[in-house]
Structure 1
Amino acid sequence: MSDDVETTTFSIESENGAADDVTVPAGLVDLLAEGDQTEAETVGDIVLLSLASRAHHLVHHDHGADEDLEAQEARVMDLFEERFGITFGEATGHQH
């Protein structure tokens, strides 16, 4: 049954030229889109949300964050707020 689900592939490339492709269910991307977002914008939002969530977990719930990791988490939270217009805590209801 899962083979019947249409997929779409996104290419990701870093500033230094490293690249990867990720294939995901196309309908899921459509369901997660907000308003008139493009598929790429939707996946971009999800990537940033995932990185912010993971960084938050590592710093606040994993016991052992060093100064570098804390700085990385602070920066991703700034980028999150710039992109979404609200803080990670406001978006998730999870604040420290």
Structure 2
Amino acid sequence: MSDDVQTTTFSISSDDGATDEITVPSGLVDLVAEGDQSDAETVGDVVLLSFASRAHHLVHHGEDVDEDLEVQEARVMDLFEERFGVTFGEATGHQH
């Protein structure tokens, strides 16, 4: 049954020339889209949200946090606010 679900494949490339592809259900992309976002913008939002969430968890709920991780978390939170116009805490209701 799950083979009947339409999917969309996205290509990812990095500054060092590495590439990858991710395939996700198309309907899920539509479900989480905001307004008239393109599919690529929607996936970009989800990627940034995921990195911010993971960094937050590691820094505020993990163990053995070092200064480098704290700096990385601070930077992703700045990027999050630049993209979404609100802080991670405001967006998620999860503040420290």
Q: Same fold (TM over 0.5)?
A: yes
Query: Counterparts in 2 of 1:1-96, with a 5 A limit?
Result: 1-96=1-96
Runs of 4+ in structure 1 deviating by more than 3 angstroms, as ranges, are none
Give the CA RMSD over aligned residues. Answer: 0.4
Task: Quote the offset at 1:15 in angstroms.
Answer: 1.0
Structure 2 unaligned regions, length at least 5: none
Letter in 1 for 2:71: A
Letter in 2 for 1:32: V
How many residues in Structure 1 have an aligned counterpart in Structure 2?
96
TM-score normalised per structure 1: 0.99
How far apart, in 1, do the equivalents of 2:12 and 2:65 lie? 28
Q: Aligned with 1:90: secondary structure?
A: helix
How far apart, in 1, do the equivalents of 2:19 and 2:67 lie? 29
Task: Quote the offset at 1:33 in angstroms.
Answer: 0.5
Task: Quote the offset at 1:20 in angstroms.
Answer: 0.3
Q: Aligned with 2:62: secondary structure?
A: coil
How far apart, in 1, do the equivalents of 2:64 and 2:54 lie? 14
